[in-house]
Amino acid sequence: KAGVTQTPRYLIKTRGQQVTLSCSPISGHRSVSWYQQTPGQGLQFLFEYFSETQRNKGNFPGRFSGRQFSNSRSEMNVSTLELGDSALYLCASSLAIQHTGELFFGEGSRLTVL
Amino acid sequence: SQQGEEDPQALSIQEGENATMNCSYKTSINNLQWYRQNSGRGLVHLILIRSNEREKHSGRLRVTLDTSKKSSSLLITASRAADTASYFCATPHYGGSQGNLIFGKGTKLSVKP
């Protein structure tokens, strides 16, 4: 069974640009969550999607957005990039949205903003 | 502040030794999870312990949970160089769903051959 796939793995952007990251969950998983990881703030929850609906959102500005498609694949978008958006963006999937259970993470997309 | 706080922040041991990492959290939880991350890679789930469990084993891993002290520990026995990684505890965000976890800052473990 293929794991969680994130693309692209690495990308470099400049301030003011926008970026779209993609995540394909494990087959059959319907819940997708996104996390931002930086050395200073650690792992922070961005948002969670289930059945194409955003179920939870972390404390991030509106420049951070996402969506989920009918096949459970998800994308996140960051507009008007700032230097502080440089981070490893991790996607995780799980079977459903119940309150317990493990998350399966992808390898991440490392974004560098110059 | 973050729900889970690990200590120590960094730990360096020799191969064959045991490694113990601790995690503290602030609110009531129904479970606590431990994840591992190799440098710059994704996280891998290690073990989940529920609030009604006190101890759980998985291979060379032993996790304990003390809900009265709001703390957990992860013990890796007979460590190997391949165990070198960062280890994070994670708890569900209060009122949140499965995908909404709060992670600690992690313990960076270095196992020297």
A24-56: pLDDT as tens digits: 999 999 999 999 999 989 999 999 999 999 998
**CB-CB under 8 Å, A110 with B99:** no
Does A8 score more than 80 pLDDT? Answer: yes
Q: Average pLDDT for residues A87-108, to the nearest whole number?
A: 86
Domain residue limits at B83: 5-112
Kindly identify which residue of chain A lies nearest to residue B91, measuring between CA atoms.
A100
Task: Identify which of A42, A96, A106 has the shortest CB distance to residue B105.
Answer: A42
What's B61's domain CATH number? 2.60.40.10
Task: Identify which of B30, B35, B105 has the shortest CB distance to residue A99.
Answer: B30
pLDDT band at B93 (very low <50, low <70, confident <90, very high): confident
Mean confidence (pLDDT) of chain B = 91
Q: Answer for the pair A33, A48: CB distance below 8 angstroms, yes or no.
A: yes
- The reported pLDDT for the residue numbered B44 is 96
- The reported pLDDT for the residue numbered B2 is 46
In chain B, count of helices (H) and strands (E)?
0, 11
Cα dihedral B62/B68/B70/B75 (nearest 10):
-10
**CB-CB under 8 Å, A32 with B42:** no
CA of B14 vs chain A CAs: smallest distance (Å): 26
User: What is the total residue count of chain A?
Assistant: 114
User: What is the total residue count of chain B?
Assistant: 113
Does B1 score more than 60 pLDDT? Answer: no
**CB-CB under 8 Å, B97 with A99:** yes
- The reported pLDDT for the residue numbered B63 is 98
Q: Average pLDDT for residues B5-13, to the nearest whole number?
A: 90
Whether omega before B8 lies within 30 degrees of 0, making that bond cis, reads yes
A72 burial (CB, 10 Å; 0-12 / 13-18 / 19+) is: buried
- Total number of domains constituting chain B: 1
CB distance from A45 to chain B under 8 Å? yes
Q: Answer for the pair A97, B98: CB distance below 8 angstroms, yes or no.
A: yes
